[in-house]
Structure 1
Amino acid sequence: MNDTHYAHGLGNDLKRPDWPGIRLAELDRVLSRFPCAGRPQNILWHSPRPFSAAAEVKTTCVTLFVKRHHHRVRSIADLAEEHRFISHLRQKDFPVVNILTSENGETSVVDDIWVYEVQEAGRGLDLYRNNFSWTAFACSAHAFSAGRTLAKFHEAAKTFQAPSRQTKLLVANYNIFGSADPIQSLRTDLVERPALARFLEARSWEKDLNEYLIGPYHQHAYDALRNEPPLWTHGDWHGSNLLWSSSGDTGHVTTVLDFGLSDRTFALFDLCTAIERNLISWLDAGRGIEPVCDFDQLDALLAGYGSISFLSSEMLYKISALLPLVHADFALSEIEYFSGILMNDVDALVAYERYLLGHAIWFRQTEGKKLIYHLNTFADGRHEASK
């Protein structure tokens, strides 16, 4: 295949990837350290996703998915945390991929400045593999299946006991904005996050966070969610991280992929993330169009989740409280990645203005208010029905 490939940017456009594409020569060297991998024959596809380089590879034995990280983004220890989670889910018969083990018994290997993980191809169709983040499902049936599978995922994750991720880089959690004092929590974090501190120092970040995120939303969300039971969650429940039985209305999820953003949060955090990632057309903002929520798919996603794990009126109220803040900790992490790892303050500023602040601001505008109203009306109806 052509060695030139493109990656997803922060908007609607493709760009040259931040990381060099995986090549056969390096695969020959790396896969030789995985006894069950076979010899690489052909690269079938380069993933357009940011943050790492990844490729689907045909070998003499099997089709594999190989992911390569810069050592400053992920270490062997970092990857072992998420691989232990995946292993637990497999033991619970939840449909995840098989992670290959190296000759030394590790689930990843280091080669020069890179850290590689290798997994078998998952079962199902990769229907959304080229879709940008923040794009909706193909149909409401897929939204229903995604919600149903997420609830099953949370059931399987309940018995996984592990502390929070050691890294703060590119993981999805609610540690800062879920604390009693987010400004103080972030100040404390910045001591060990110099790249993020450098970027924020040039901006009135405390004023911005207080005006756009903390003042309008934090106290309500904190009061509603402070006692949620902890749970390891996926952190990036999007159609592109799911494999499917078919593209039509009968299609359902067959495999769950990509636990790179996973961390210890709570179930409603994952459900809110699924809504935020899939059902709001954030990319429209880059075209000067106000983003909208797909309410049919929202109702289908919630119905799918509720078909396995009942969503009470109280839980629905909590979802509406959390949604304006669910993206915020990861947005800070993304800013740190762009500014500190890639030395790209242009994209860091986009993440700050359009993602960290812009997504929160949207919930105070017409379409965002419609979404909160829709959820609260749904909760009101469920509350009345329970009387």
Structure 2
Amino acid sequence: MGTELEAPVWPAITAEEAGAVLGRFAGAGRLIALQWHSPRPFSAATLVEAEGGRFILKRHHHRLRSPEALAQEHGFIAHLRAAGVNVPEVIEAQGGTVLAQGEWTYELHRLSPGLDLYRDRPSWTGFLTPNHARAAGRALAGLHRAAQDYAAPPRGIDPLIAGWTILPAPDPAAAARAYVAARPGLSAFVHGRAWEEELAGVLGAAAPDLAAQPPMWTHNDWHPSNLLWTLGGEVATIFDFGLATQTCALHDLATAIERSAIPWLEMADGAPIKGDVAAALGLIRGYCDVRALSLADIDMTIDLLRLVHVEFALSEVDYFAGLLNDRAQAALAWDGYLIGHAHWFASAGGQAFLADLRREVRG
């Protein structure tokens, strides 16, 4: 939640561990070497060279990603892959695509084609060029085209999933109370604080026609470092579907803008921040290159920008307070993320960003 690297919560995957696990996945073969460890905070991942090729091996705590939750994620990836979307090949284990051992769940993806141009940049930092933003918009629209006929139910109440239960509800406040009550860690964290009033200040008057948006499984974590690239600046592969579940297309597009066009990590360092209108516009125009949006759709997307983080922010609080028992990080997720992002959109800088984006869309 800032520009400084934090020590990983989850221990790195060792060569001994990887060697033992690889034998349970079809065609992986014997371990040759571990080539890189991911610095991302919510799971342990490593780039593996093995007899069967090069793979990404990921390990999760079972309370974060149960075998059932990972199988849902893999089902969506398989659907997209069958529809011709460039997503990772998930390798079969014994009895499915998820390997459960003790407190851990493992998944193995064959290394996908493309340049990892953003590997050394923190998540939620911006695009290197406006052309990358437009290409990412096109790729997102292509994913949505392929996802339209995916009929799986939404994922459950596991932590770190970007759901769609509060904003489209007839009574968002009541939906928020139900969301909190279903998650003991989150419920314990907010006990004793005026959380309903704080959240009401974030929600404001949620647009009533959000409920009319067609439900669709979506990526929900669309930012440059979850994409691999071609030499020509197109998206070669889309990866990291850990937050994927059923939301709607405009929610996913708004998420892409919110995570890629606003330098949130600078806020954590106390710096004033300015949104990147060119990147936001590139995402919208690229999306419209492939999948048409009306001006009303675009207005709705811009309206969603101040709200689209709400449910995932609550899920992050639940993760830190419930699974990790880290109240300090939970407080940072609540105050800095849930409340802080909403406050920025209400600030002069946030209002200027939204106004400039609306003007450019119409220009």
The TM-score bracket by the shorter chain reads: over 0.9
Q: Deviation at 1:302?
A: 1.3
The whole-number CA distance in structure 2 between the counterparts of 1:202 and 1:279 is 35
Cα distance in 2, alignment partners of residues 88 and 314 from structure 1: 30
Alignment pair present for 1:299 and 2:298? no
1:367 alignment partner, SS class: helix
Shift of the alpha carbon at 1:378? 4.1
1:17 counterpart SS class: coil
CA distance in 2, matches of 1:168, 1:183: 21
C-alpha deviation, 1:178, in angstroms:
2.7
For the residues of structure 2 that align with 1:174 and 1:292, how far apart are their CA atoms? Answer: 28
Assess if the C-alpha contact under 8 Å between 1:316 and 1:375 holds in 2.
Answer: no
The 5 A counterparts of 1:215-230 are 215=204, 218-219=205-206, 221=207, 223-230=208-215
- Amino acid corresponding to residue 15 of structure 2 in structure 1: L
Partner of 1:124: 114
Alignment of 1:230-309 (within 5 A): 230-246=215-231, 250-309=232-291
Query: 2 CA distance for matches of 1:309 and 1:33?
Result: 41
Q: For 1:200 and 1:75, locate their aligned partners in 2 and report how far apart those are by CA, in whole Å.
A: 25
Which consecutive unaligned segments of at least 5 residues does structure 2 have? none
SS of 2:94 mapped into structure 1 = coil
Hey, what does 1:153 align to over in structure 2? 143
CA offset digits 1:286-339 (Å, max 9, x no partner): 222222111122222111111111221101110121110000000000000011
- Give the Cα separation in 2 of the matches to 1:187 and 1:316: 30
Aligned to 2:357: 375
The number of residues matched between the two structures is 363
8 A Cα contact 2:63 2:158, kept in partner:
no
* Separation (CA, whole Å) in 2 of partners of 1:244 and 1:175: 33
- Once the 2 structures are TM-superposed, how far is the Cα of residue 180 of structure 1 from its aligned partner? 2.2
Q: Stretches of 4+ moved more than 4 A in 1?
A: none
Unaligned stretches of 5+ residues in structure 1 = 1-9, 383-387
C-alpha contact (below 8 Å) 2:167/2:210 kept by paired residues: no
Partner SS for 1:243 = strand
Sequence identity of aligned pairs in percent?
A: 42
* Equivalence for 2:85: 94
Q: Name the CA distance, whole Å, in 2 between partners of 1:181 and 1:51.
A: 32
CA contact (8 A) 1:11 1:286 kept: yes
1:7 aligned residue:
none
* Alpha-carbon contact 1:317-1:375 (below 8 Å) kept: no
Q: TM-score, normalised by structure 2?
A: 0.97
| Aligned partners of 1:224 and 1:318 also within 8 Å | no
Alignment match of 2:203 (pick from 214, 222, 234) = 214
- Give distance in 1, aligned partners of 2:301 and 2:179: 26
Q: 2:132 aligns with which of 117, 121, 142?
A: 142
Which residue of structure 1 lines up, in the alignment, with residue 58 of structure 2?
Answer: 67
In the TM superposition, residue 148 of structure 1 has moved relative to its aligned partner by: 0.5
Conserved in 1, the CA contact under 8 Å of 2:275 and 2:353? yes
Q: Distance in 1 between matches of 2:326 and 2:114?
A: 36
1:114 maps onto 2:104 in alignment:
yes
Amino acid at match of 1:202: G
Structure 2 counterpart of 1:11, from 2, 8, 33: 2
Distance 1:42 1:202 in 2: 50
Residue 3 of structure 1 is matched in structure 2 by none
